[in-house]
Amino acid sequence: MATFKTTDGTEIFYKDWGSTDAQPIVFHHGWPLSGDDWDNQMLFFLSKGYRVIAHDRRGHGRSEQTDRGHNMDTYAADVAELVRHLDLKNAVHIGHSTGGGEAARYVARAEPGRVAKAALLGAITPLMLKTETNPDGIPLEVFDGLRAALASNRAQFFLDVPSGPFYGFNRDGAQVSEGLIQNWWRQGMMGSASAHYQCIAVFSETDQTEDLKAIDVPVLVLHGDDDQVVPIANSADKAIKLLKNGTQKTYAGLSHGFFATHPDEVNADLLAFIES
């Protein structure tokens, strides 16, 4: 397996496919998944001549099950170390959900020449939690409920989420994919319960307003308007107003996991953005 060690000694797993001479695309996965969540997109962009890279966030997937460093600063620092390890330049960073937050923080702080563009899909940015300055956010009790469900029976919880709100399979008329459900469960159960538990606070309580304001490169913001996990009004609709060079597209009726349920449409939109 391809791995590298961060400066704090944590072993990070990554996949790196394609010619090292090709423009790189780096994929950032959501909670509590792994780089495997991007298999469709990685194969698609590999076929288009790009170099595609996806890592498993610390504590997730095949990376070390450390209980240290579960905060957005460290997640972004791990990405910076991966980028330096592979010496990636002019890269496109694509992040989903928590991975969107990770990508935004990395891109906002990236070394000159490292990043060409970014795409935020169903991203948690700028802030999910309800606070005095974010009054229409999600109440803390909701995230406490996620923590309680994970601690009580993680295996069942990791079936309930993809079977229901994540892919919109709880909606009338939804075309349910057992493969997506089982693959979500597989990826989740590979990771550390401690990392997953801690990451709930990371994705819900991290304010990334300043990250979005600091990003200079073009950013594509994609979101489903039936996202039951990261509601669009509190995320993409706010994020686009903070970005200097952002473009937003909303997918009518689609869920949080829209890039997995409708890959052909999303891949085409991503390709058009990258090649524009």
Please name the residues in contact with 248: beta carbons below 8 A apart, sequence gap of 6 or more: 220, 221, 222, 223, 236, 237, 240
Phi/psi-derived region of residue 176, left when phi > 0, alpha when psi is between -120 and 50, beta in every other case: beta
22's tokens: 């090709």
Separation in Å, CA 182 to CA 6, 147, 186, 220, 234 = 31, 21, 6, 29, 29
Among residues 55, 60, 96, 256, which one is catalytic? 256
Among residues 97, 163, 204, 255, which one is catalytic? 97
User: How far apart, in whole angstroms, are the C-alpha atoms of residue 273 and residue 135?
Assistant: 33
Closest CA to 243 of 269, 217, 268, 267: 217
User: Is-catalytic flag, 93?
Assistant: no
> Which amino acid, one-letter code, is at 21?
D
Among residues 28, 204, 227, 255, which one is catalytic? 227
User: Is-catalytic flag, 55?
Assistant: no
User: Is-catalytic flag, 256?
Assistant: yes
**Within 10 Å of residue 235's Cβ, how many Cβ atoms?**
26
Please name the residues in contact with 93: beta carbons below 8 A apart, sequence gap of 6 or more: 25, 26, 28, 103, 106, 107, 115, 117, 118, 119
260's tokens: 């997995």
User: How far apart, in whole angstroms, are the C-alpha atoms of residue 94 and residue 72?
Assistant: 16
Please name the residues in contact with 182: beta carbons below 8 A apart, sequence gap of 6 or more: none
Instruction: Determine the number of helices (DSSP H) and then strands (DSSP E) in the chain.
Output: 10, 8
The residues assigned a catalytic role are 97, 227, 256
